[in-house]
Structure 1
Amino acid sequence: MMNVVQICLFYATILAYFDKVHSGNCTDYVTKSEASRLTNDLFCSYNRNVRPVLNQKTQTIVNTTMYFFSVHMDEEWNVLKMSIHLILTWKDEFLTWDPLKYDNVEYLHQSSSSVWLPNIMSYDSGFDGANKDFVYDLPISTVKITNKGIIKYNHRVNFDAFCSTNIANWPFDEHNCTVIMGSPLYTNLYVNFTFPDGYYSLDFYNPDREWKVKNIHHECYTLQYFNSNNSYDHCLLQYTIIVERFSSMYFSSVIIPAIVISLMSAFTFLLGPEIIIRVILLCLFFVSELLYIQFLDAKIPNNGSHPVYIVLLYRNCLIQTAMAILLSVISNSFHKRGLEKCPRESPDWLKSLSSFLLSKRPISLLTNLDMQGAELLMEKNIEEESPNRKNEESALFWIKLSVMLDRLSFIITLIAIVLNFIFAIP
């Protein structure tokens, strides 16, 4: 029985000792290092959950500096990913000492998990200091503490901002994203974030290959709080970040081909209605534009109800090329009729329409440039009362109609191309 009692007393003594050590009674800590003794004296009874001021009505001033390092837009998820270097400096009234008592030790380095932190966060997504899940507290880092109680927190942090993107002007688009930052625990009455060196710095900013920061605007996002006696305002920092896409590569690889293919398809009308190879060329242009539309469909994310102008540009080019193929086939068919030994008689309405068009001077100048010889030949046959005069008149009409159709198609296609690029290029 005595053995059991002795064992119980022994364990009770051990537990009492450890409880005494962990209760904060560490004044008897012995070490040969003055820095270790200083650390023990400072954090023996330090509570990191209490704001470090002797009078809780005293405001804690936190000098803040933010260096933007990189910014990237995730178009698929409408997220602006930012990496900044955050520097926070404030005074901790509980962590001061006389260097003469500690062998002239004037500063210490300590884990940020051991001291009180001002608890700033992004209200959109929080910080991600370890490339893991998003958290709403500052990531753990190493802080520098001076003998005056000045603490400096220095760490690279990542956070996201969710944007309502509109890529209608792709690849010349820019996006406006808003980030709200502040303290979720302390209002401005207790913790005030100040920016003595400016609200942000782009001195170390390095744009990526896709996006660049065009402008950053900051302002105070005010929240109003009420209590039984009065009301007061709490200021959160709101950043409006405008990012712009680098478009030079897309201009060369997407827009220039659209211009070239459209102009080439228009100038095929100048090859002459008898050259069947122009239909083959137009078919190749059609396939090229169709492949570009498929490329853009894979490259550009869905834009909701807003159409993307560059896709409309290629759609219009595709329709123009299809119409050019149809007109080329019709023109070639007219030309073949004119080469027949016994060309069929043209309908009266078609004659009337062609005569009406040629009676208009602008159309006559643009479409009838090469018909003088044909008209002289027709007049000569009429005067000589040739037995084949009627067939020759029909043949000349069909040939003349094919040439006029090509010239009119060329002019109308050029006008359509110009209008398409005026209104469809962002």
Structure 2
Amino acid sequence: MKVLYILLILVSTLITDQAYGEKCVDSESKSAATRLLNDLFCSYDKNIRPVLNQKTQTVVNTTMYFFGVHMDEEWNVLKLSIHLVMIWKDEFLTWDPTKYENVETTQQLSSSVWLPDIMSYDTGFDGDDSDLLYFLPTSSVKITYKGIVKYNHRVTFTAQCSTNIAHWPFDTHNCTVIMGSPIYTNLYVNYSFPTGYYNLEYYTAEKEWEMKSVHQECYPLHYISLNNSYEHCLLQYELTIKRFSSMYFSSVIIPAAVLSLMSTFTFLLGREIMIRIILLALFFISELFYIQFLNTKIPNNGSHPVYIVLLYRNCLIQTAISLFISVLSNELYKRGTDDFPPESPEWLKSTSAFLLSRKPISMLTNFDNQGAELLVEKIIDEDSPNRLRDENAKFWKTLSILVDRLSFIITLILIFINFMFLIP
């Protein structure tokens, strides 16, 4: 058993020597740059923090250039595009330029050196596994002879952001992005920001979203060990983003107002019943199509209703009621044009008289006292042989006009209330 153990150790040693041997090759005849890279990375281990004393803190000078933000509403994920620049000292990557033909800098893939990885702690999932990156993407790093390493690359941080689009398309969202090292605390790796925690010099608003404000503060984490306790500070960014709504105002809000008003003004078309019904049917279909369009455009908002959808729902109901009233009004008028108009019920006469006896209603409907009398009084010549028929015909025709005018006033008031409370 002991012999087997010794053999395993020998094999492991040979494999290790061979692995290092592939990196540590004789480069006397090579160029200075090749010899430099061979000497630097011969026994370099990128998994070890590059300090001679592991108690020494690695300071990473960091600059974040914000380029743009995007909100994925379907998955409630905020995407933050940042150009990340990090500079730190790698004590294992230093050399004497005079030994390498005065070569003072070199380039290397970031995957070959130790990196102070930084990630978003509340990374959001948007349905694409490829976006779930917990470490920095591979890039080229610049290394100086003093061991100064510079990482310079565009990265995308994602964060879960709970949104409420009830006020779509005038919605504003507040999102929190928490960043930090996935491995080290501030005791070992300290991200410093000599030029500020963020830079908006190159920020450009996209077509859908605009970043209104950004605020940075420390997100503290407290650690307690056997000997002492300390606080670890993560980077917390509070972002406020707002949707560009000018296009939606023209393409969604204005059509809702126009369709509602046009359906209301059909009550003023008088006896053009076929035109009224055709117009109201077209308005109804248009509003129905708009609701379906909003259903495809606006994601589900959970238990919170979206006001613009409620607005179109109410407009659709209003148009349907207007269509029903138009048919009813036409039927009332047709009764007055029959050869033998039916006699009107007393309750209908008294109700109509009561309404028109109210001055605001008579003024709004433009009915004077004579118009009210047509509904209740027998002002037809009593000597007329067709007195009763003429009286009934006059009542039904006048009642039809009253229904149209009252419906016009009531619908206008309802439209005002609908838009006042449901315009986001």
Corresponding residue to 1:292 among 290, 293, 317: 290
Cα 1:400–1:27, aligned 2, differ >3 Å: closer, same or farther?
closer
Cα 1:292–1:418, aligned 2, differ >3 Å: closer, same or farther?
same
- Correspondence 1:61 to 2:59: yes
The corresponding residue for 2:6 is none
Corresponding residue to 1:49 among 47, 51, 54: 47
Q: Helix, strand or coil: the match of 2:83?
A: strand
- 1:293 deviation in Å? 1.2
Aligned length: 410
- Correspondence 1:220 to 2:218: yes
Amino acid of the structure 1 residue aligned with 2:257: I
The corresponding residue for 1:9 is none
CA distance in 2, matches of 1:334, 1:16: 105
TM-score (ref. length: structure 2): 0.88
CA distance in 2, matches of 1:126, 1:107: 38
Moved more, 235-244 or 145-154: 235-244
Q: Helix, strand or coil: the match of 2:342?
A: coil
- 1:113 deviation in Å? 2.1
Deviations 1:299-322 (A, max 9, x none): 222111111111111110011111
- 1:134 deviation in Å? 2.7
Kept in 2: contact 1:273–1:403 (CA 8 A):
no
Corresponding residue to 2:263 among 242, 262, 265: 265
Moved more, 253-262 or 298-307: 298-307
Corresponding residue to 1:161 among 159, 178, 183: 159
- Correspondence 1:206 to 2:204: yes
Kept in 2: contact 1:72–1:81 (CA 8 A):
yes
Kept in 2: contact 1:142–1:153 (CA 8 A):
yes
Q: Helix, strand or coil: the match of 1:148?
A: coil
- 1:405 deviation in Å? 1.0
- 1:277 deviation in Å? 1.9
- 1:84 deviation in Å? 1.8
Amino acid of the structure 2 residue aligned with 1:309: Y
RMSD: 2.9
The corresponding residue for 1:4 is none
Corresponding residue to 1:324 among 315, 322, 325: 322
CA distance in 1, matches of 2:372, 2:139: 90
TM-score (ref. length: structure 1): 0.88
CA distance in 2, matches of 1:343, 1:380: 15
CA distance in 1, matches of 2:310, 2:382: 57
Amino acid of the structure 2 residue aligned with 1:286: F
What is the correspondence of 1:404-423 to structure 2 with a 5 Å cutoff?
A: 404-423=402-421
- Correspondence 1:30 to 2:33: no
Moved more, 385-394 or 352-361: 385-394
CA distance in 1, matches of 2:23, 2:179: 39
Percent of matched pairs sharing the same residue: 69
- 1:375 deviation in Å? 6.1
Deviations 1:113-170 (A, max 9, x none): 222211212223399xxx9453322222111111222110011222322222222111
Deviations 1:334-382 (A, max 9, x none): 1122222322111111111111111110111111347858969x99964
CA distance in 1, matches of 2:23, 2:75: 53
Kept in 1: contact 2:77–2:161 (CA 8 A):
yes
Corresponding residue to 2:97 among 92, 96, 99: 99
The corresponding residue for 2:189 is 191
Deviations 1:244-275 (A, max 9, x none): 22222221111111110100011111111454
Amino acid of the structure 2 residue aligned with 1:43: F
Amino acid of the structure 2 residue aligned with 1:415: I
Kept in 1: contact 2:27–2:34 (CA 8 A):
no
Q: Helix, strand or coil: the match of 1:409?
A: helix
Kept in 1: contact 2:356–2:367 (CA 8 A):
no
CA distance in 2, matches of 1:125, 1:271: 59
Kept in 2: contact 1:172–1:247 (CA 8 A):
yes
Amino acid of the structure 1 residue aligned with 2:207: R
Amino acid of the structure 2 residue aligned with 1:38: L
CA distance in 2, matches of 1:417, 1:25: 79
CA distance in 1, matches of 2:208, 2:114: 39
CA distance in 1, matches of 2:366, 2:155: 72
> Which stretches in structure 1 are left out of the alignment for 5+ residues?
1-11
CA distance in 1, matches of 2:19, 2:107: 24
Moved more, 295-304 or 188-197: 295-304
- 1:396 deviation in Å? 1.8
Cα 1:346–1:26, aligned 2, differ >3 Å: closer, same or farther?
closer
CA distance in 2, matches of 1:398, 1:58: 98
What is the correspondence of 1:347-366 to structure 2 with a 5 Å cutoff?
A: 347-366=345-364
> Which stretches in structure 2 are left out of the alignment for 5+ residues?
1-9
Q: Helix, strand or coil: the match of 1:410?
A: helix
Q: Helix, strand or coil: the match of 1:276?
A: helix
CA distance in 1, matches of 2:28, 2:323: 95
Kept in 2: contact 1:216–1:242 (CA 8 A):
yes
